[in-house]
């Protein structure tokens, strides 16, 4: 198991403006590398302040140039919003630029507001994903593509650019949609789950359900899961409430972007409370907020419950002030990680994937 750093890059009140969000992210990624994190992940969202990471591959490429060891990847590429011929080449280019450090997560997306503005119908997202994935896989594994489908057709094409390593040997997937799981089953994808501000209580219910769903579709247990949690290390009760408010703000924006026409002020959404949302004290208790011993104890419980392959951490959520986010991440590396390893042993012995020998599926050609 390795720890990862998730970067949504929300813009709310950052004193540096948009460039401040980029600068903060750069600072956090470099710090995560120094601490020994395995991967820096970058989200994908469009048009609003929910995230300025409109291209996780561009963000990963930029951060690859700012670092030397940490892997960089997309969590996730929303495949229906791309032309598959272009995105496949960009994935390969990221792996070359990063000297083989590229990581890939893919998903079907979920926000109608984004889909409509790309002239893509969200109800067709799975059909589109499956066709596009056929092409992406051909490019990344065979270096060529030829496809005739309902949503896209491409002539026989050969590609010079290829990934430096087998990037599909470790692919993360955020959906439990049966057709997607069936299509990617031969790659033994890694389930990636986050429950946002609902935190551990929701994770303890939804992760087993997700794993059961995967097992039903695949006819075998899935790879060990990858989980994601909001984390804030602090001894200060007031800082804990600040962290909870910023975590809830992310959930509010995401919730309001699930409708076709959210109430925006230009491109900005300062979302009102969600229906039935809990008090900040409940949000604080849902996510992982507290002193190093408490944070370590919470994470150890989840490690023992799920034996995760990967543990993604979210430190600067909701445009949390960078001083608070950096202090929290610094303490996580210096104080929390040693406590975790003291309890569960070396992290590299947790969540080991079993060898998977299914033959590579030939992508559909027509």
pLDDT digits (tens, 9 = 90+) for 213-258: 999 999 999 999 999 999 999 999 999 999 999 999 999 999 999 8
Within a domain: 365 = no
Within a domain: 354 = no
* Side-chain half-sphere CA neighbours of 266 within 13 A: 2
DSSP state of 53: -
Report how far residue 321's alpha carbon sits from residue 36's, in angstroms, rounded to the nearest whole number.
23
* Among candidate residues 292, 306, 313, 315, the one with its CA nearest the CA of residue 344: 306
Within a domain: 78 = yes
Residue 366: what pLDDT? 45
CA 348: distance to chain centroid? 21
Residues with Cβ within 8 Å of 296's Cβ and at least 6 positions away in sequence, in order, are 336, 339, 340, 343
Within a domain: 267 = yes
Within a domain: 366 = no
Q: For residue 69, is the peptide bond before it cis, meaning its omega torsion is within 30 degrees of 0? A: no
- Residue range of the domain that includes 343: 2-349
Within a domain: 363 = no
Within a domain: 355 = no
DSSP state of 310: E
In the chain, the number of structural domains is: 1
Token pair 């907020």 is at which residue? 289
Q: H helices within the chain, ranges in order?
A: 17-35, 56-66, 84-97, 112-117, 125-142, 178-184, 199-218, 237-256, 280-286, 292-306, 322-331, 337-344
Question: Could you tell me the CATH number of the domain that includes residue 14?
Answer: 3.20.20.30
Angle at 227 between CA 51 and CA 299, to 5 degrees: 115
pLDDT tens per residue across all 366 residues of the chain: 999 999 999 999 999 999 999 999 999 999 999 999 999 999 999 999 999 999 999 999 999 999 999 999 999 999 999 999 999 999 999 999 999 999 999 999 999 999 999 999 999 999 999 999 999 999 999 999 999 999 999 999 999 999 999 999 999 999 999 999 999 999 999 999 999 999 999 999 999 999 999 999 999 999 999 999 999 999 999 999 999 999 999 999 999 998 888 889 999 998 999 999 999 999 999 999 999 999 999 999 999 999 999 999 999 999 999 999 999 999 999 999 999 999 999 999 999 988 876 554 554 444
**100's tokens:** 């083989």
Residue 363: what pLDDT? 45
Residue 361: what pLDDT? 56
Residue 357: what pLDDT? 65
Angle at 348 between CA 347 and CA 354, to 5 degrees: 125
Token pair 């889909």 is at which residue? 115
- pTM (2 d.p.): 0.95
Within a domain: 203 = yes
Report how far residue 177's alpha carbon sits from residue 355's, in angstroms, rounded to the nearest whole number.
24
């Amino acid at each position: 198991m390795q720890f990862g750093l998730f970067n949504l890059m929300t813009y709310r009140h950052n004193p540096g403006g948009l460039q401040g969000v980029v600068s903060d992210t750069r600072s956090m990624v470099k710090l995560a590398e120094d601490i020994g994190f395995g991967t820096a992940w970058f989200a994908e969202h469009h048009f609003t302040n929910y995230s300025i990471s409109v291209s996780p591959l561009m963000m990963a490429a930029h951060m690859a140039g700012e670092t030397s060891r940490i892997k960089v990847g997309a969590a996730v590429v929303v495949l229906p919003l791309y032309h598959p011929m272009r995105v496949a080449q960009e994935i390969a280019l990221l792996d070359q630029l990063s000297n083989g450090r590229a990581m890939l997560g893919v998903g079907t997306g979920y926000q109608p507001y984004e889909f409509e503005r790309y002239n893509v119908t969200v109800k067709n997202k799975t059909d589109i994903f499956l066709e596009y994935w056929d092409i992406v896989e051909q490019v990344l594994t065979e270096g060529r593509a030829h496809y005739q489908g309902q949503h896209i057709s491409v002539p026989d094409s050969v590609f010079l650019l290829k990934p430096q390593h087998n990037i599909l040997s470790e692919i993360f997937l955020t959906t439990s949609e049966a057709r997607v799981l069936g299509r990617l089953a031969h790659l033994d994808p890694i389930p990636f789950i986050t429950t946002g501000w609902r935190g551990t209580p929701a994770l303890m219910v939804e992760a087993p359900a997700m794993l059961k769903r995967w097992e039903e579709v695949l006819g075998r247990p899935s790879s060990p899961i990858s989980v994601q949690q909001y984390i804030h290390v602090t001894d200060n009760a007031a800082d804990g409430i600040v962290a909870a408010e910023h975590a809830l703000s992310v959930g509010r924006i995401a919730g309001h972007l699930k409708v076709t026409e959210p109430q925006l002020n230009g491109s900005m959404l300062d979302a009102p409370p969600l229906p039935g949302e809990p008090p900040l004290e409940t949000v604080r208790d849902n996510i992982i907020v507290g002193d190093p011993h408490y944070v370590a104890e919470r994470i150890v419980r989840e490690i023992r419950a799920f034996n995760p392959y990967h543990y993604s951490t979210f430190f600067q959520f909701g445009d949390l002030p960078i001083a608070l986010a950096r202090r929290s991440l610094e303490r996580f590396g210096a104080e929390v990680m040693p406590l975790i390893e003291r309890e569960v042993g070396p992290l590299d012995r947790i969540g080991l994937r079993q060898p998977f020998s299914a033959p590579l599926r030939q992508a559909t050609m027509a």
